[in-house]
Amino acid sequence: METGLQHAHSFIAYAALILLIVASVNALIGMSSNKQFKGSDRKIALFALIFTHIQLLIGLILYFVSPKVKVFAMSMGEIMKNSDLRLYAIEHPLINLIAVVLITIGFSKHKKAATDKAKFKSIAIMYALGTLLILSRIPWSTWF
Ligand code: HEM
């Protein structure tokens, strides 16, 4: 099960990141060119949200089964001293969790926004911020 989940988390990361970038750029363009907010704009943002949430769920399970996460085997002091161990145990999960919260807030706020520009703005800012946070803590050396 562990390797199945590792592969899924590794593979869905591509889909989630591509969708997040597309949704952010689409919303930035919509906001800056005063476009009408259409069903297709909502769908792009929704797909990005769904894939990000799937990624989060698999990540949460992996946190307890992955051999790369040493929180249950080593002291916090030892983990903090090693940048690789720190990335998997603290930085990647925590920063990504914050990113997913921001993206979710962005989607939920767009629903309540009164104007098309405000809808695009909510998605543009929160999705772009979330995407940057995720990109800042990807284990690039093992993934890309
Ligand atoms: C939501 C955005 C997230 C993205 C885009 C993402 C992406 C990635 C990527 C690309 C890897 C490297 C995979 C590889 O080396 O093949 C990885 C590994 C990992 N991620 Fe995430 N992740 C996310 C969220 C999370 C969260 C929230 C957690 C934990 C709570 C988590 C836990 C892990 C763990 C434990 C590994 C190491 C898995 C292993 O190879 O054993 N991830 N993640």
Cβ 90 under 6 angstroms from ligand 1: no
DSSP string, 12-37: HHHHHHHHHHHHHHHHHHHHHTT---
Cβ 59 under 6 angstroms from ligand 1: yes
- Do residues 107 and 49 touch, judged by C-beta distance below 8 A? yes
pLDDT score, position 144: 78
Ligand 1 pocket test: which of 2, 7, 49, 62 has the largest number of ligand atoms within 8 Å of its C-beta?
A: 62
Q: What is the pLDDT along the chain (144 residues), one digit of tens a residue?
A: 678 999 999 999 999 999 999 999 999 999 999 999 999 999 999 999 999 999 999 999 999 999 999 999 999 999 999 999 999 999 999 999 999 999 999 999 999 999 999 999 999 999 999 999 999 999 999 997
